């Protein structure tokens, strides 16, 4: 069983959808779990109301994309369970292990007033994984060190107090599209980008999507050629079109004589790919009672799945009566 999370540090965008969410809906097994990691979004300065709205939008997008509500939950709805298990794991983790986390060093470098949660969140991530009994965690290279910490903590707890936790392993995530920023193809499309003009959000209206793609950076040439190193802007458009139509970038390159024609084709492909997701997401966001029902049910199932592990861990470490 795999567990994957998405942090609502911004609104879901095309890169999230083509690169991960769509693949989760199509290729994930019935046992895989997906959560909205809103607690992780609190490690830096944030607006509480905006965070709540982004968490709801992310949840709606996952469900609208075809992921079963049975397999989705919001992290903060398990705040009590995760808080208790995080403390247990912090009592199992050494300072040296936490201090070696590269992501903390990179994100804290040069920053004033760094929050302690940025230092300790890898232990919370371990709690996310271990509470649900995940055996596999799809992560990129930047997060693999955190999964190694979860493995170390699971093994140490099991050896010291008794067998409770499945020891997870990091696996390569399902291959998805590589989507770059439309105004700066040297960087990936990001929901937290300071320039929204280069980001297509899942809930963007069709006309706005068309305008953004028509303004996408290309190069001084005129004929579309798939050359990621020499022509990254055009390659990005070709990769987006290929992902939306389930074809290869080189195949679609030969079908368009000009950059203008390519952009029009990309715009229409993106509009159609996102249309059902946008419409269903809008429906869910327009029905707060239904979204709240989905969220409450997801939290109850996630809590039930982890209840016996948490209770066993607390009992074995001496925090509750045996």
Stated as kind and residue range, the H or E segment containing 136 is strand 136-138
Q: What is the Cα–Cα distance from 136 to 114, expressed in whole angstroms?
A: 31
Annotated catalytic residue 296? no
Backbone φ and ψ for 134, nearest 5 degrees, come out as -65, 140
DSSP-derived letter for residue 114 is -
Helix axes 232-245, 259-285, angle to 10 degrees: 50
Residue 191 known to be catalytic: yes
Q: In what side-by-side order are the strands of the sheet with 3-6? A: 3-6, 33-36, 72-74
Whole-number Å distance between alpha carbons of 75 and 185: 32
The residue from 191, 212, 263, 296 that is catalytic is 191
Element containing residue 169 per DSSP (H, E): strand 169-171
Pairwise CA distance, residues 260 & 256, whole Å: 9
2 has catalytic annotation: no
At 85, list the tokens.
């298990």
Give the Cα separation of 180 and 228 in Å (integer).
Answer: 11
Query: Cα 230 to the chain's mean position, in Å?
Result: 30
In 3-state terms the chain splits into helix, strand, coil percentages (rounded to 5) of 60, 5, 35
Task: Select which of 107, 212, 263, 296 is catalytic.
Answer: 107
Of the residues 2, 105, 188, 296, which is catalytic? 188
**Do residues 104 and 66 lie in contact, with contact meaning Cβ atoms separated by under 8 Å?**
no
Active-site positions? 107, 188, 191
């Amino acid at each position: 069983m795999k567990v994957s999370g998405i942090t609502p540090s911004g609104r879901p965008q095309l890169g999230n959808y083509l690169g991960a969410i769509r693949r989760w809906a199509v290729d994930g097994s019935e046992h895989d779990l997906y959560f909205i990691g809103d607690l992780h979004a609190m490690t830096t300065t944030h607006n509480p109301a905006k965070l709540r709205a982004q968490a709801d939008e992310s949840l709606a997008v996952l469900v609208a994309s075809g992921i079963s509500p049975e397999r989705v939950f919001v992290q903060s709805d398990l705040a009590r369970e995760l808080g208790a298990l995080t403390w247990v794991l912090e009592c199992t983790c050494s300072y040296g292990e936490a201090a070696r986390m590269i992501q903390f060093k990179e994100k804290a470098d040069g920053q004033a007033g760094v929050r302690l949660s940025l230092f300790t969140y890898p232990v919370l991530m371990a709690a996310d994984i271990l509470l649900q009994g995940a055996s596999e965690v799809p992560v990129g290279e930047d997060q693999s060190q955190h999964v190694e910490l979860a493995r170390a903590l699971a093994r140490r707890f099991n050896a010291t107090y008794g067998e409770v936790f499945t020891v997870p392993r990091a696996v390569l995530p399902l291959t998805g599209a590589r989507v770059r920023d439309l105004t700066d193809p040297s960087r990936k499309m990001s929901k937290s980008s300071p320039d929204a003009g280069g980001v297509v959000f899942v809930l963007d209206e069709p006309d706005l999507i068309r305008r953004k793609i028509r303004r996408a950076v290309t190069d001084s040439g005129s004929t579309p050629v798939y050359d990621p190193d020499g022509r990254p802007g055009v390659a990005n458009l070709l990769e987006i079109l290929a992902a939306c139509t389930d074809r290869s970038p080189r195949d679609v390159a030969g079908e368009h004589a000009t950059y203008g024609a390519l952009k029009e084709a990309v715009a229409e492909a993106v509009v159609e790919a996102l249309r059902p997701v946008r419409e269903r997401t809008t429906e869910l966001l327009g029905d707060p009672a239904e979204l709240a029902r989905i969220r409450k049910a997801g939290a109850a199932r996630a809590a039930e799945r982890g209840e016996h592990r948490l209770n066993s861990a607390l009992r074995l470490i001496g925090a509750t009566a045996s």
